[in-house]
Structure 1
Amino acid sequence: MTIEQFYDKSLAHASYAILNNGEIILIDPARDPQIYYDFADKHKANIVGVIETHPHADFVSSHLEIHHTTGATIYVSELLGADYPHKSFDDGDRIELGDISLEAINTPGHSPDSISILLIDKKGKEHALFTGDTLFIGDVGRPDLRENVGNIRDKKEELAKKLYHSTREKMMTLPNDVIVYPAHGAGSLCGKNISTDLDSTIGREKKENYALQDMSEESFVDLILADQPWVPKYFQYNVALNKAGAESFEQSIHAATAFKRFDDLTDNVLIIDTRKAVDFRSGHHVNAINIPDSGKFETWLGSVVDPGESFYLVGYSEEHLHEMMKRVAKIGYEKSVNGLIWEEFGKVEEKKFDQKGFDTNPDDFTVLDIRNDGEVASGKLFKQAITIPLPRLREAVDTLPVDKPIVVHCAGGLRSAIGASILSKQLKNVAVLDMGEHIKDYKKN
Structure 2
Amino acid sequence: MRVIGTEDQPLGSGSVVGKVFSIWLAAGLFILVTGMFLVESRHLYKNLVYLGIVTPGLLLLFLPKARQIAMTRQFIMLLVYLAFVGISALWSNAEDGVPIKRVVYLLCATISFTYLFSHHRTLFERVGFFAVGVCALVSAYWIVSFYIIEGNPWHQGFQSDSEDHYGTFYNTLLTSHVLGFIFVFYAAYIVLYVDGMKQRTLYLLMSVPVLTLLLLTGSRTPLVSVTGALLSIALYNLNRRSLVVLLLAGLVVAGGLFQFWDVISARGLSYRPEIWLGTLQLMPGKWLFGHGYAAPLLVWIDSLGRSFNDSHNVMLGVLYYFGFVGLMLFISLYARALWLVIKGTADNAMLLVVLAYGLLSGMTDGGGLLARPNEHWFNIWLPIMFFICVDYSNGCQQPPIGEGRAHAERS
On whether the aligned pair clears a TM of 0.5, the verdict is no
Higher strand share: 1
TM-score, with length taken from structure 1? 0.24
Larger Rg: 1
TM-score when normalising by structure 2 = 0.25
Higher relative contact order (CA 8 A, sep 6+): 2
